[in-house]
Amino acid sequence: MMSEKYDLIIIGGGPAGIAAAIYGSRSRLKTLVLEAKRKTGGQPATYHDMENYPGVPETTASELMDNFKTHAEKFKAEFKRGQVAKIETDGFKKLVKTKKEEVYEAKSVIIATGAEPRKLGIKGEEEFKGKGVSYCATCDADLFTDLDIVVVGNGNSAVEEAIYLTKFVNKLTMIVIHDEGVMDAEKILQEQAMENEKIDFVWNSTLEEIKGEGLVEKAVVKNIKTGQKSEIDCNGVFFFVGRVPSTDFLEGVVDLTEHGYIKTTKQMETNQPGIYAVGDVRDKVVRQVITAAGDGATAAVMAQGYIEEEDYWQNNVLQADKEVIVAFWSVTDQASIDLVAKLENMDLEAKGYKFLKIDTYKNRLISDRYQIEEIPTVMKLKGSKVAEKVVAPTEKELKNIF
């Protein structure tokens, strides 16, 4: 199958991916966002409230994500539906293949696949999925209007979603593993939950089992201190107990942590040149919309630099029809300036060479690839092979190179 070609392909349409699309397409990179789900927006698209995005004091999470997408489309970023099954790399060329066997070619790839809701695997959880068990308040809240539900979890997401659910349900019981009054959520969210008349708490407890005849009817709760079990009558159970990174398709492509998150540098670089990871899918401490957007912006800027650097090297060195002399230098280093002046006065073009200057500060990737540790360094290449490499060459060493 013929592949469609792009400068930049972003896998995942959450805040990190769309922010990368804004920066990439605005830099005139032909940019594609591949999103596996019907609606773009990632994890925030499943939430309702959005109170902590700077400069936007009043909005919903889905409205904010819609604005992200509109912004990217303004700069001609493309959005397509597709679940990626594989990424293959061949130097500068990356092939992104979907489960429907669509193939897209890119010079750079940004992975923004985020994370999926964590499942506890308790008895009844899988059986009642879609029959009272849910992982998304925004998706399913209206199905539980005037009914009683249980929420499992006590972090920011759990408390935020519980507060949202109280707009629909009759009563909500939060099962919290900690001692009374102790929760993992931010203080302001804890206060809002404690003050909400529809929310009750069961402390020092875990959910043991979900029961029902066709639909959820009861939640079995166990006190972790006494071991005593009790049943709560309910019509639904919502789980908000963390997330698992969506990296199954990346095994052997990029380095992962033991928990499946992608290892990156602070520049969002993976161990594969030209492949970056952003947002909740990468190994990081803070996972918020604002930090995800920052990751996306950083990765897109880095990808642009990578593409420009690689394009230049491919066109002027690897595809050159003659031997190439490359001077690795810096405008802040006097020895570099002196050497470049000498080389420019040697009329190398007339001698059958192509002459290039590579600023090691601006072209870090090329410099690292050829292990340039000191400047000035002169290198002679025949195609992709290094024929000569000399650090701070003397007059005699320069003559020997030619």
Element (H, E) at 389: strand 385-391
User: Strand order of the sheet with strand 385-391?
Assistant: 354-359, 324-329, 377-382, 385-391
Cα(104)–Cα(254) distance, integer angstroms: 19
Cα(274)–Cα(280) distance, integer angstroms: 19
In sequence order, what are the residues at sequence separation of 6 or more whose Cβ sits closer than 8 angstroms to the Cβ of residue 81?
34, 35, 36, 38
User: Does the active-site annotation cover 140?
Assistant: yes
Please give the distance of CA 58 from its chain centroid, rounded to a whole number.
26
User: Does the active-site annotation cover 234?
Assistant: no
What is the radius of gyration, based on Cα positions, of the chain? 28
Longest dimension (CA), the chain: 90
pLDDT for residue 172: 98
Q: Two tokens at 158?
A: 């759990």
- Phi, psi for 17 (deg, rounded to 5): -65, -45
Q: Two tokens at 143?
A: 């199905």
Nearest to 286 by CA among 71, 52, 64: 52
What's the average pLDDT block by block, 10 residues per block, for the chain (402 residues)?
86 97 98 92 74 85 92 97 94 93 96 92 93 87 95 94 96 97 95 96 97 96 96 96 92 93 96 96 89 97 95 89 92 92 89 92 88 93 88 88 80
pTM higher than the cut 0.75: yes
- Say if CB 323 and CB 294 are below 8 A apart: no
pLDDT for residue 2: 61
Cα(201)–Cα(19) distance, integer angstroms: 38
pLDDT for residue 375: 94
- Say if CB 156 and CB 187 are below 8 A apart: no
pLDDT for residue 192: 96
- 47: three-class secondary structure by DSSP: coil
pLDDT for residue 184: 94
Cα(151)–Cα(132) distance, integer angstroms: 12
Catalytic residue among 49, 66, 90, 136: 136
User: Does the active-site annotation cover 7?
Assistant: no
pLDDT for residue 1: 56
DSSP secondary structure, 282-331, as one string: BS-S---HHHHHHHHHHHHHHHHHHHHHHHHHIIIIIT-SS-EEEEEE-T
Q: How many CB atoms lie within 10 A of CB 338?
A: 12
- Domains, the chain: 4-116+243-313 (3.50.50.60), 133-239 (3.50.50.60), 321-394 (3.40.30.10)
pLDDT for residue 18: 98
Catalytic residue among 140, 148, 280, 295: 140
Cα(239)–Cα(237) distance, integer angstroms: 7
